[in-house]
């Protein structure tokens, strides 16, 4: 049995603070198993008890997993005092405390971003040791050569001496290319192309593992991932 305080359950599932949850509980806005509960410290098994908040039944989920089509100009962060973040864009019905991006995209990079509150899950995606490849589409200021592909495949050495893991570089359509990497160093792809004399005009992440970006999502839109999609993340 997984007992939790009622105020913690309400806060975790609605995105309001624990303080706000306690105030609403005391006002009689929360019921459990058909009975109004005003004791904030009362404990329940959220997966078995029927808990309602403001008359709406809570569909309790221990963790949430969200796919977003990240737009340009938004920070991959949980919060920022002055700039808009990806968590700010999550719709109200998916918001809850503790959300964060599982791996960051540069501010001007767009595409597939996963947002969650499950730290272990995020670590499995981010850790290079797990070999979860991320696929990017890059528009370049020049054409990719076979020598550049070889350099990427052998592991690019960045200007500061940092050695990158082997990456797969595929050219198509003139000055466009796809890149697959299993790590996420600061501005890594732009720096990798810089070592072979190419600049990146635009960059979009299109896949994580075998999970591809849902093209029905407009920039800034998001939705929950399905169980099938969650499994695709860990396939290469």
Calculated CA dihedral for residues 228, 93, 86, 66, nearest 10 degrees: -10
Number of H helices, E strands in the chain: 6, 15
Task: For residue 187, give the nearest of 174, 203, 198, 176 by alpha carbon.
Answer: 203
Q: Is 33 tagged catalytic?
A: no
Task: For residue 222, give the nearest of 122, 81, 85 by alpha carbon.
Answer: 85
- Using CA atoms, how far apart are residues 144 and 53, in angstroms rounded to an integer? 56
- Using CA atoms, how far apart are residues 53 and 32, in angstroms rounded to an integer? 9
- Using CA atoms, how far apart are residues 137 and 176, in angstroms rounded to an integer? 7
Which 3 state secondary structure label does DSSP give 138? strand
| Rounded alpha-carbon distances, angstroms, from residue 2 to 45, 76, 224 | 5, 33, 24
What count of Cα atoms within 13 Å lies in the side-chain half-sphere of residue 190? 12
Q: Which of the residues 88, 106, 118, 214 is marked catalytic?
A: 106
- Using CA atoms, how far apart are residues 132 and 135, in angstroms rounded to an integer? 10
Task: For residue 193, give the nearest of 230, 152, 235 by alpha carbon.
Answer: 152
Active site residues: 106
């Amino acid at each position: 049995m997984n007992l939790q305080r009622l105020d913690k359950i309400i806060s975790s599932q609605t995105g309001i603070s624990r303080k706000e949850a306690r105030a609403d509980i005391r006002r009689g806005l929360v019921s459990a198993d058909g009975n109004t509960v005003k004791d904030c410290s009362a404990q329940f098994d959220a997966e078995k008890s029927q808990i309602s908040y403001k008359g709406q039944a809570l569909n309790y989920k221990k963790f949430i997993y969200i796919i977003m089509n990240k737009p340009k100009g938004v920070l991959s962060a949980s919060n920022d005092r002055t700039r808009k973040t990806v968590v700010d864009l999550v719709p109200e019905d998916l918001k809850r405390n503790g959300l964060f991006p599982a791996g960051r995209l540069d501010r001007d990079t767009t595409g597939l971003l996963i947002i969650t509150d499950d730290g272990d899950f995020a670590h499995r995606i981010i850790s290079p040791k797990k070999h979860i490849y991320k696929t990017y589409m890059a528009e370049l200021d020049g054409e990719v050569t076979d020598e550049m592909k070889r350099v990427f495949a052998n592991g690019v050495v960045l200007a500061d001496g940092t050695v990158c893991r082997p990456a797969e570089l595929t050219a198509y359509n003139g000055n466009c290319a796809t890149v697959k990497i299993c790590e996420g160093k600061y501005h890594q792809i732009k720096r990798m192309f810089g070592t072979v004399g190419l600049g990146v005009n635009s960059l979009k992440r299109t896949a994580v593992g075998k999970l591809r970006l849902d093209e029905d999502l407009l920039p800034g839109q998001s939705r929950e991932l399905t169980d099938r999609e969650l499994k695709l993340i860990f396939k290469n």
